[in-house]
Amino acid sequence: MKITRQKHAKKHLGFFRNNFGVREPYQILLDGTFCQAALRGRIQLREQLPRYLMGETQLCTTRCVLKELETLGKDLYGAKLIAQKCQVRNCPHFKNAVSGSECLLSMVEEGNPHHYFVATQWISASLLMLTVHHLMQSERCHLFSSAAKVSQVTH
């Protein structure tokens, strides 16, 4: 990993650690687009995310994300396998499944009490997180080619 990328990640993590109480193990909520990008880029998430974030991580997903990947069919079968290996967190709408992005957004609402990171490639979800004031405490992870990037959510 390049030194500047590591410095930026350390800076962003330090900000969230000092201001919002984010702590290890970092809980990363994955959606289907992030899993698919990791598959395409041949990125081993369990190995590379802890190295990038310089600490212990827990890869998590929700039932709604898994349900969405099932309904999208064979094209995202590999992403579904990656998501199934993650811890499944209970979401508030487990009976009436919603889209993965809506589910992840609802998981970090109201101050993000569990200090989740949101790992997505979906630009609209990232922009939605930027516009919602009380989501200032969540972080986003993106994959650009074969390198992850943590970005701070500001408004």
The structural domains of the chain, with segments of one domain joined by +, span 25-141
The pTM of this model reads 0.77
Q: How far apart are CA 119 and CA 130, in angstroms?
A: 14
Given CA atoms 100, 19, 58, 36 in this order, what sign does their dihedral have?
A: positive
| Full pLDDT tens readout for the chain, 155 residues | 577 878 888 888 888 888 878 889 999 999 898 899 899 999 999 999 898 888 999 999 999 999 999 999 888 999 999 999 999 999 888 788 898 888 888 888 877 888 888 888 876 655 555 444 334 445 555 555 445 556 655 44
What CATH number has the domain spanning 25-141?
3.40.50.1010
Show the DSSP H helices in the chain as ranges. 3-20, 32-40, 45-53, 63-72, 77-84, 100-107, 123-131
